Amino acid sequence: MQASTSRSLRACALALAAAGATLSAQAAVVDVTVTVQNLAPASGIAFAPLHLGFHSGGFDAFNLGGVASAPIISVAEGGAGGAWQAAFAAADPTATRGTVGGLLLPGASSSLTLRVDTALNPLFTFAGMVVPSNDFFIGNDNPAEYRLFDATGALTTPSITVTAGEIWDAGSEVFDPAAAAFVGNNDLRTAQNSVVAFNFAELAAFNGLTTGAGYTFSSGLAAGSEVYRISFGVSPVPEPGSLAMLTAGLLGMGFVARRRRAGAEPRALPAA
Ligand SMILES: [Ca+2]
Ligand SMILES: [Ca+2]
């Protein structure tokens, strides 16, 4: 009886240790909630849905001073981003990609939760159109600029804040309010044949126009104005196999406890 209880306890301990080891191996996989906020002044710029990906560094959509690629044009002109998502998937097939938010008006926020392998995909890349504009966007030029997780899987970059001075002009469509998304007919365009450059000053040229959301636009931006924030929240993902092992271990301990109580009962009974 004593030897059997000891064997059961040892089996439970081994099961729990194994479950713990499995949980540790899975700790790199977490649920990441991405929250985007439009920080621009009221009546100022809005943003198209943000295209994003957790990745290993294989996708670079554009370069400062370079001719805009079809993928970044798909974000900058109209915001749909289909070519950006497809190029990302082709360049980095194991990346975790997504799109968050609808049209994000000043003061608004939106969230999306994705399951991320932080060991495989510790880097973060994003791209989203600024409206009103013909071809303005936010995004990171360097794919390695934002390393969110360290080697232990800890979140080291809780948020990314974009200022007006970091807004890009894709250089692919000439400035024309009549052809600008949010204030004009976005189906119209005239090729600009220029290169990707920083540009937020041109947004003030839309001042006084009525936007698609019904308000009269007023840019209200200086280079240092914060216009957009991307925040990250991490929560663990219990792995089903580990849960099963933990449950088995706990049930086993309960079984041993019951056996111990059962073994004690006869001695508690009155002798008569
Ligand atoms: Ca680049
Ligand atoms: Ca342009």
C-beta neighbour count of 15 within 10 angstroms: 19
What is this structure's pTM? Answer: 0.81
List beta partners, residue 110: 36
| Ligand that comes closest to the CA of residue 69 | 1
Burial 82-92 (b: 16+ CB within 10 A, else e): ebbbebbeebb
What does the pLDDT read at residue 240?
73
pLDDT, one tens digit per residue, over 74-112 is 999 999 999 999 999 999 999 999 999 899 999 999 999
Q: Which two tokens stand for residue 242?
A: 């580990």
Residue 62 CA to ligand 1 center (angstroms) comes to 5
Mean pLDDT over each residue of the chain, to the nearest integer: 88
pLDDT, one tens digit per residue, over 14-23 is 554 554 445 5
Residue 124 CA to ligand 2 center (angstroms) comes to 26
Alpha-carbon gap, residue 20 to 67, rounded angstroms: 51
| Ligand that comes closest to the CA of residue 199 | 2
C-beta neighbour count of 208 within 10 angstroms: 11
What contacts 200, CB < 8 A, 6 or more positions away? 136, 164, 165, 167, 219, 221, 223
Categorize the per-residue pLDDT at 270 as very low, low, confident or very high, splitting at 50, 70 and 90. very low
Residue 133 CA to ligand 2 center (angstroms) comes to 8
| Ligand that comes closest to the CA of residue 62 | 1
Categorize the per-residue pLDDT at 265 as very low, low, confident or very high, splitting at 50, 70 and 90. very low
